[in-house]
Amino acid sequence: MSSHPAVRRMSECFIKPPLPLNDSNPICHLSPWDILMLSAHYIQKGLLFLKPSPLNSPFSIDSLLHRLKHSLSLTLLHFYPLTGRLVTTRLPSYSIFVDCDNSDGARFIYAALDMTVSDILSPTDVPSVVQSFFDHDRAVNHDGHSLPLLSVQVTELTDGVFIGCSMNHCLADGTSYWRFFNTWSEIYRAQGDNHDSDDVCIPISHTPIHNRWFPEGCVPPVNLPFTHHDEFISRFEAPRLRERIFHFTAESIAKLKAKANQDSNSTEISSFQSLSALVWRCLTRVRSPPGDQKTICRLAANNRSRMEPPLPEEYFGNSIHVVAAEMTSRELLEHDLGWAAWKIHVAVANHNDRAVRELVKKWLERPMVIQPGQVFDPYSVLMGSSPRFNMYGNEFGMGKAVGVRSGYANKLNGKVTSYPGREGGGSIDLETCLPPALMTALESDDEFMNYVSPQTVSAFCSV
């Protein structure tokens, strides 16, 4: 049982764009990349802010909520599929698409919690109450037939505010998710105090592209070999996990990268590949598997820049595949850090246009939906998200966020989610999920903890 106070929902409403779609296509077809996600959870990510000091700027939650709602409505003009719902048709064949117009819109929730920012950031482990900062708990993306495809929850703490979004993963990957968040922040700042203005044409830096990518010869909608969603939807419950943020300074990351390249006599291994290799080796060691046990390090790879011609970064949708390096635990642990990092580097380098198109071709020959509970095993690592995403550049009148946190969604034994460190400069935070005994063992692993740096709450709260 949790000893935390409960999050109280104070109000909720639905938000739609201020103008009808007009020339926008009310139907958004799902690509193979999107359909793969139907049985996964929604994306749940959010930012924690300190309330401004009363001496500097008087804070009004009512004013903040009003401005957030107005700017969200303007943002949805550009990201209009998020206001829709999923629809399944069975004639002439089974297919799923987004009806962008026939729904109530995106949900907006205001909630309150009698805790402080320090209560959230200070504990070694992420408090379980953070899961209550997000709507759509344990919902899978297929539930978007009846649930909003986007739900925003603003949770007021005693001295802070958490802004969390639950976004349907069939509509967006991490790149698209943070593009939406960045645009919302940009519009919030651009509207200034004039948030009752009738002007809805606020220019934005990056206009989302909603034309879904389909390989040559594939005409949407994609016909699926199903007759009922029970054939491809499953509900996954994670085992009991500890969730902890490990902080790596820019200096620590540079040291790790230098070692990986020196070990492998290379200059090509990236910082993130080096860090992934460290996690993979150390986690495998504390798991103590048999020497012949297969272990895999999986990384979520953005396909956009790998395509020929490249897809624009503004492509709104899913454009990701998981790339993997695989070997036995004996091979992994008998070699050095650079050897493991090089294996990861080769897997990433080989993920090119040809590989992407071949994966899509095979999927079209035999369409399937990822079942998270069946894909990952207790001896593997999944590196998700990216420290390149612009998370701390999002501001909503409260200054720079003091932390990034996520909900229950898509947490597994060995799931590691990467965020940029708050101080920037190449620093990285790893949100790591492990069973309690394994987390304790990792915290005692000398090689791993040698690169981890403490990060104090006072350093955040003094800014």
Q: Terminus-to-terminus CA distance in the chain, angstroms?
A: 34
pLDDT higher than 80, residue 459 = no
Compute CA distances 398 → 63, 75, 237, 373, 394, whole Å.
12, 19, 36, 39, 10
Residues 282, 375, single domain; the answer is: yes
SS3 (DSSP) at 335: coil
Average pLDDT, the chain: 94
| Paired residues of 109 in beta bridges | 12, 153
Q: What angle do CA 391, 393, 397 make, to 5 degrees?
A: 115
In whole angstroms, give the CA distance from residue 286 to residue 314. Answer: 40
pLDDT higher than 90, residue 22 = no
> Minimal CA–CA distance to 429: which of 387, 388, 395, 459?
387
Residue after which a domain boundary falls, among 192, 208, 231: 231
Over residues 181-191, the mean pLDDT reads: 96
In whole angstroms, give the CA distance from residue 29 to residue 93. Answer: 14
Would you place residue 461 in the very low, low, confident or very high pLDDT band (cuts 50, 70, 90)? low
pLDDT higher than 50, residue 407 = yes
Residue after which a domain boundary falls, among 180, 198, 231: 231
Residues 68, 137, single domain; the answer is: yes
Residue after which a domain boundary falls, among 188, 210, 231: 231
In whole angstroms, give the CA distance from residue 243 to residue 411. Answer: 9
Query: Could you report the per-residue pLDDT of 124-169, keeping only the tens digit for each?
Result: 999 999 999 999 999 999 999 999 999 999 999 999 999 999 999 9
Q: What is the pLDDT of residue 1?
A: 45
Would you place residue 381 in the very low, low, confident or very high pLDDT band (cuts 50, 70, 90)? very high
Residues 155, 284, single domain; the answer is: no
Residue 2 lies in a domain: no
Cβ burial of 92 (10 Å; 0-12, 13-18, 19+) is: exposed
In whole angstroms, give the CA distance from residue 340 to residue 336. Answer: 7
SS3 (DSSP) at 210: coil
Query: Could you report the per-residue pLDDT of 261-277, keeping only the tens digit for each?
Result: 999 999 999 999 999 99
Residues 217, 256, single domain; the answer is: no
Over residues 284-291, the mean pLDDT reads: 97
Q: What is the pLDDT of residue 41?
A: 96
Q: Which residue has the tokens 């956009």?
A: 304
Give me the domain span that covers residue 319: 242-461
Element (H, E) at 416: strand 415-420
Percent of the chain beyond pLDDT 70? 95
Element (H, E) at 338: helix 337-349
Q: What is the pLDDT of residue 194?
A: 62
Q: What is the pLDDT of residue 44?
A: 98
Residue 100 lies in a domain: yes
Query: Could you report the per-residue pLDDT of 32-49, keeping only the tens digit for each?
Result: 999 999 999 999 999 999
> Minimal CA–CA distance to 45: which of 384, 324, 426, 271?
384
Residues 443, 329, single domain; the answer is: yes
Phi, psi of 186 (to 5 degrees): -60, -45
Would you place residue 349 in the very low, low, confident or very high pLDDT band (cuts 50, 70, 90)? very high
Q: What is the pLDDT of residue 54?
A: 77
Residue 237 lies in a domain: no
In whole angstroms, give the CA distance from residue 443 to residue 375. Answer: 26
| pTM of the complete model | 0.95
Q: What angle do CA 244, 166, 457 make, to 5 degrees?
A: 35
Would you place residue 25 in the very low, low, confident or very high pLDDT band (cuts 50, 70, 90)? confident
Residues 308, 338, single domain; the answer is: yes
Residue 1 lies in a domain: no
SS3 (DSSP) at 76: helix
Strand 294-302 versus strand 381-385 pairing type: parallel
pLDDT higher than 70, residue 310 = yes
In whole angstroms, give the CA distance from residue 169 to residue 35. Answer: 9
Would you place residue 195 in the very low, low, confident or very high pLDDT band (cuts 50, 70, 90)? low
Joined together, the tokens standing for residue 344 give 């990861």
Percent of the chain beyond pLDDT 90? 87
Q: What is the pLDDT of residue 412?
A: 92
Number of domains in the chain: 2
* Tally of CA atoms within 13 A in the half-sphere of 102 that contains its CB: 10
> Is 60 or 455 the better-scoring residue by pLDDT?
60
Query: Could you report the per-residue pLDDT of 59-107, keeping only the tens digit for each?
Result: 999 999 999 999 999 999 999 999 999 999 998 889 999 999 889 999 9
Q: What is the pLDDT of residue 463?
A: 45
Would you place residue 284 in the very low, low, confident or very high pLDDT band (cuts 50, 70, 90)? very high
| CATH code of the domain in which 313 resides | 3.30.559.10
